[in-house]
Amino acid sequence: MTSTPLILNKVLVPKEFNKVASSYDFATKMSQGYQDDLDTSAQRMELKGNEKLLDLCCGTGKSTLACLKQLPNGYIIGVDNSEGMLKEAKHKFAEEINSGKICFLLQDAMNLDFPDNSFDAVFMAYGLRNMPDYQESIRGIYRILKPNGKLCIHDYSLSKNIFTKAYWFILGYGFIVPLCTFLSRSSKIYTYLIKSVLTFLSPNEIKFLLINNGFESVLVQSHASWRKPILYSIIGTKRT
Protein backbone atom coordinates (compact mmCIF):
# COMPACT_ATOMS: atom_id res chain seq x y z
CA MET A 1 0.00 0.00 0.00
CA THR A 2 2.76 2.48 0.89
CA SER A 3 4.25 2.15 -2.59
CA THR A 4 1.07 3.50 -4.17
CA PRO A 5 1.68 6.99 -5.63
CA LEU A 6 0.19 9.74 -3.49
CA ILE A 7 -1.66 11.17 -6.46
CA LEU A 8 -3.65 7.91 -6.64
CA ASN A 9 -3.97 7.24 -2.90
CA LYS A 10 -4.53 10.53 -1.10
CA VAL A 11 -5.20 8.74 2.17
CA LEU A 12 -1.41 8.56 2.52
CA VAL A 13 -0.91 12.33 2.20
CA PRO A 14 -1.15 13.14 5.97
CA LYS A 15 1.62 10.67 6.74
CA GLU A 16 3.91 12.42 4.26
CA PHE A 17 3.10 15.78 5.85
CA ASN A 18 4.19 14.31 9.19
CA LYS A 19 7.68 13.88 7.73
CA VAL A 20 8.08 17.55 6.80
CA ALA A 21 6.07 19.17 9.62
CA SER A 22 9.06 20.57 11.51
CA SER A 23 10.46 22.29 8.41
CA TYR A 24 7.17 23.24 6.73
CA ASP A 25 6.90 26.76 8.12
CA PHE A 26 10.45 27.59 7.12
CA ALA A 27 9.85 26.26 3.60
CA THR A 28 6.68 28.34 3.16
CA LYS A 29 8.48 31.47 4.39
CA MET A 30 10.61 31.17 1.28
CA SER A 31 7.44 31.56 -0.81
CA GLN A 32 6.97 35.31 -1.14
CA GLY A 33 3.46 36.33 -0.14
CA TYR A 34 2.38 32.99 1.38
CA GLN A 35 0.99 34.42 4.63
CA ASP A 36 -0.24 37.60 2.97
CA ASP A 37 -2.35 35.53 0.57
CA LEU A 38 -3.94 33.62 3.44
CA ASP A 39 -4.65 36.92 5.17
CA THR A 40 -6.26 38.26 2.01
CA SER A 41 -8.55 35.25 1.62
CA ALA A 42 -9.63 35.49 5.25
CA GLN A 43 -10.37 39.22 4.77
CA ARG A 44 -12.42 38.44 1.65
CA MET A 45 -14.84 36.37 3.75
CA GLU A 46 -16.02 39.67 5.32
CA LEU A 47 -16.67 38.14 8.72
CA LYS A 48 -18.26 40.12 11.55
CA GLY A 49 -15.55 39.09 14.01
CA ASN A 50 -17.53 36.95 16.46
CA GLU A 51 -18.05 33.80 14.39
CA LYS A 52 -17.30 30.20 15.23
CA LEU A 53 -14.98 29.13 12.41
CA LEU A 54 -13.61 25.78 11.30
CA ASP A 55 -10.08 26.00 9.89
CA LEU A 56 -10.16 22.80 7.86
CA CYS A 57 -6.81 21.22 6.92
CA CYS A 58 -5.16 23.80 9.18
CA GLY A 59 -1.67 22.30 8.96
CA THR A 60 0.82 24.15 11.16
CA GLY A 61 -1.63 27.00 11.72
CA LYS A 62 -0.71 29.61 9.13
CA SER A 63 -4.34 29.66 7.96
CA THR A 64 -5.41 29.73 11.62
CA LEU A 65 -3.40 32.92 12.10
CA ALA A 66 -5.06 34.50 9.08
CA CYS A 67 -8.51 33.69 10.44
CA LEU A 68 -7.60 34.77 13.97
CA LYS A 69 -6.85 38.28 12.70
CA GLN A 70 -10.46 38.50 11.47
CA LEU A 71 -12.06 37.10 14.63
CA PRO A 72 -11.25 39.32 17.63
CA ASN A 73 -14.32 37.94 19.42
CA GLY A 74 -14.66 34.61 17.66
CA TYR A 75 -13.63 31.01 18.18
CA ILE A 76 -11.59 28.76 15.90
CA ILE A 77 -11.40 24.99 15.69
CA GLY A 78 -8.45 23.84 13.61
CA VAL A 79 -8.70 20.36 12.10
CA ASP A 80 -6.02 18.35 10.35
CA ASN A 81 -5.24 14.68 9.76
CA SER A 82 -1.49 15.02 10.28
CA GLU A 83 -0.30 14.59 13.86
CA GLY A 84 3.01 16.26 13.05
CA MET A 85 1.45 19.39 11.57
CA LEU A 86 -0.94 19.71 14.52
CA LYS A 87 1.93 19.39 16.97
CA GLU A 88 3.54 22.46 15.37
CA ALA A 89 0.24 24.36 15.43
CA LYS A 90 -0.41 23.59 19.09
CA HIS A 91 3.06 24.80 20.02
CA LYS A 92 2.60 28.11 18.17
CA PHE A 93 -0.85 28.82 19.61
CA ALA A 94 -0.35 27.56 23.16
CA GLU A 95 -1.51 30.88 24.63
CA GLU A 96 -4.69 31.01 22.53
CA ILE A 97 -5.46 27.39 23.35
CA ASN A 98 -5.09 28.03 27.08
CA SER A 99 -7.35 31.08 26.86
CA GLY A 100 -10.06 29.13 25.02
CA LYS A 101 -9.71 31.08 21.79
CA ILE A 102 -8.53 28.15 19.62
CA CYS A 103 -8.82 24.38 19.70
CA PHE A 104 -6.99 21.88 17.47
CA LEU A 105 -8.38 18.44 16.67
CA LEU A 106 -7.08 15.42 14.75
CA GLN A 107 -9.83 14.48 12.28
CA ASP A 108 -10.30 13.23 8.74
CA ALA A 109 -11.71 16.08 6.64
CA MET A 110 -13.75 13.54 4.67
CA ASN A 111 -15.51 12.37 7.84
CA LEU A 112 -15.98 15.40 10.04
CA ASP A 113 -17.24 14.63 13.53
CA PHE A 114 -19.41 17.70 14.10
CA PRO A 115 -23.20 18.10 14.30
CA ASP A 116 -25.17 19.69 11.48
CA ASN A 117 -25.18 23.51 11.41
CA SER A 118 -22.20 23.83 13.79
CA PHE A 119 -20.14 26.62 12.22
CA ASP A 120 -20.64 30.16 10.96
CA ALA A 121 -17.71 29.83 8.57
CA VAL A 122 -15.24 27.30 7.16
CA PHE A 123 -11.80 28.20 5.83
CA MET A 124 -10.05 25.50 3.78
CA ALA A 125 -6.56 26.39 2.56
CA TYR A 126 -4.72 23.98 0.27
CA GLY A 127 -7.06 21.22 1.40
CA LEU A 128 -9.77 20.41 -1.13
CA ARG A 129 -7.13 19.35 -3.65
CA ASN A 130 -5.97 16.65 -1.21
CA MET A 131 -9.43 15.14 -0.72
CA PRO A 132 -10.11 11.72 -2.32
CA ASP A 133 -13.60 12.91 -3.35
CA TYR A 134 -14.12 16.64 -3.95
CA GLN A 135 -17.92 16.48 -4.03
CA GLU A 136 -18.25 14.44 -0.83
CA SER A 137 -15.87 16.85 0.88
CA ILE A 138 -17.98 19.87 -0.09
CA ARG A 139 -21.17 18.08 0.98
CA GLY A 140 -19.64 17.40 4.37
CA ILE A 141 -18.70 21.06 4.76
CA TYR A 142 -22.18 22.14 3.69
CA ARG A 143 -23.71 19.90 6.35
CA ILE A 144 -21.80 21.44 9.25
CA LEU A 145 -22.24 25.06 8.13
CA LYS A 146 -25.13 27.09 9.48
CA PRO A 147 -27.56 28.64 6.97
CA ASN A 148 -25.88 31.76 5.52
CA GLY A 149 -22.55 30.36 6.69
CA LYS A 150 -19.53 31.11 4.51
CA LEU A 151 -16.99 28.78 2.95
CA CYS A 152 -13.63 29.94 1.60
CA ILE A 153 -11.54 27.62 -0.57
CA HIS A 154 -7.98 28.98 -0.80
CA ASP A 155 -5.92 26.93 -3.22
CA TYR A 156 -3.79 26.66 -6.28
CA SER A 157 -5.94 26.07 -9.34
CA LEU A 158 -5.14 26.25 -13.05
CA SER A 159 -7.34 27.54 -15.83
CA LYS A 160 -7.79 25.26 -18.81
CA ASN A 161 -5.08 26.75 -20.97
CA ILE A 162 -1.53 25.84 -21.93
CA PHE A 163 0.03 28.96 -20.41
CA THR A 164 -1.04 28.36 -16.80
CA LYS A 165 -0.11 24.68 -16.89
CA ALA A 166 3.31 25.46 -18.36
CA TYR A 167 3.79 28.26 -15.83
CA TRP A 168 2.99 25.95 -12.92
CA PHE A 169 5.15 23.14 -14.33
CA ILE A 170 8.18 25.42 -14.60
CA LEU A 171 7.55 27.04 -11.21
CA GLY A 172 6.97 23.72 -9.52
CA TYR A 173 9.76 21.58 -10.88
CA GLY A 174 12.19 24.46 -11.37
CA PHE A 175 11.80 26.11 -7.97
CA ILE A 176 9.34 24.61 -5.45
CA VAL A 177 10.48 20.98 -5.52
CA PRO A 178 14.26 21.67 -5.51
CA LEU A 179 14.07 24.33 -2.79
CA CYS A 180 11.65 22.50 -0.50
CA THR A 181 13.52 19.23 -0.95
CA PHE A 182 16.72 20.96 0.12
CA LEU A 183 15.05 22.51 3.17
CA SER A 184 13.12 19.44 4.32
CA ARG A 185 15.29 16.60 2.97
CA SER A 186 12.14 15.08 1.46
CA SER A 187 10.84 15.46 -2.08
CA LYS A 188 7.82 13.17 -2.04
CA ILE A 189 5.18 15.52 -0.65
CA TYR A 190 6.36 18.48 -2.74
CA THR A 191 6.43 16.44 -5.95
CA TYR A 192 2.91 15.35 -5.07
CA LEU A 193 1.98 19.03 -4.62
CA ILE A 194 2.97 19.84 -8.19
CA LYS A 195 1.16 16.84 -9.64
CA SER A 196 -1.97 17.41 -7.57
CA VAL A 197 -2.34 20.98 -8.84
CA LEU A 198 -1.91 19.83 -12.44
CA THR A 199 -4.78 17.37 -11.99
CA PHE A 200 -6.99 19.59 -9.79
CA LEU A 201 -10.19 21.38 -10.77
CA SER A 202 -10.04 24.72 -12.56
CA PRO A 203 -11.32 27.84 -10.72
CA ASN A 204 -14.63 27.70 -12.61
CA GLU A 205 -15.01 24.00 -11.88
CA ILE A 206 -14.59 24.70 -8.17
CA LYS A 207 -17.15 27.48 -8.44
CA PHE A 208 -19.74 25.19 -10.00
CA LEU A 209 -18.88 22.41 -7.55
CA LEU A 210 -19.97 24.76 -4.79
CA ILE A 211 -23.07 25.97 -6.65
CA ASN A 212 -24.17 22.42 -7.47
CA ASN A 213 -23.92 21.49 -3.80
CA GLY A 214 -26.02 24.24 -2.29
CA PHE A 215 -23.82 27.33 -2.18
CA GLU A 216 -24.79 30.68 -3.66
CA SER A 217 -23.17 34.07 -4.35
CA VAL A 218 -19.96 32.24 -5.22
CA LEU A 219 -17.05 34.56 -6.01
CA VAL A 220 -13.74 33.60 -7.63
CA GLN A 221 -10.89 36.01 -6.91
CA SER A 222 -7.24 35.68 -7.87
CA HIS A 223 -4.25 36.82 -5.82
CA ALA A 224 -1.48 39.30 -6.56
CA SER A 225 1.92 39.22 -8.17
CA TRP A 226 3.35 35.96 -9.55
CA ARG A 227 0.49 34.00 -7.93
CA LYS A 228 -2.18 35.73 -10.03
CA PRO A 229 -2.54 32.94 -12.67
CA ILE A 230 -2.47 30.09 -10.15
CA LEU A 231 -3.88 31.03 -6.72
CA TYR A 232 -7.52 31.80 -5.89
CA SER A 233 -9.99 32.58 -3.13
CA ILE A 234 -13.33 30.95 -3.93
CA ILE A 235 -16.03 32.00 -1.48
CA GLY A 236 -19.64 30.87 -1.27
CA THR A 237 -22.58 31.15 1.14
CA LYS A 238 -24.79 28.29 2.29
CA ARG A 239 -28.39 28.76 1.20
CA THR A 240 -30.96 29.47 3.89
pLDDT reported for residue 3: 44
Tens of pLDDT, residues 139-178: 999 999 999 999 999 999 999 899 999 999 999 899 888 8
pLDDT reported for residue 8: 67
What distance in Å separates the CA atoms of residue 136 and residue 31, rounded to the nearest whole number?
A: 31
* Nearest residue to 122 (alpha-carbon basis) of 69, 64, 200: 64
What distance in Å separates the CA atoms of residue 49 and residue 72, rounded to the nearest whole number?
A: 6
116: confidence class by pLDDT, cuts 50, 70, 90? very high
Does the pLDDT at position 1 exceed 60? Answer: no
What pTM was estimated for this model as a whole?
Answer: 0.92
Helix (H, G, I), strand (E, B) or coil at 110: coil
Percent of the chain with pLDDT over 70: 94
What distance in Å separates the CA atoms of residue 116 and residue 222, rounded to the nearest whole number?
A: 31
What distance in Å separates the CA atoms of residue 196 and residue 57, rounded to the nearest whole number?
A: 16
For the chain, list the domains and their CATH numbers: 32-157+202-238 (3.40.50.150)
Mean pLDDT of 6-22: 76
The C-alpha R_g of the chain, in whole angstroms, comes to 17
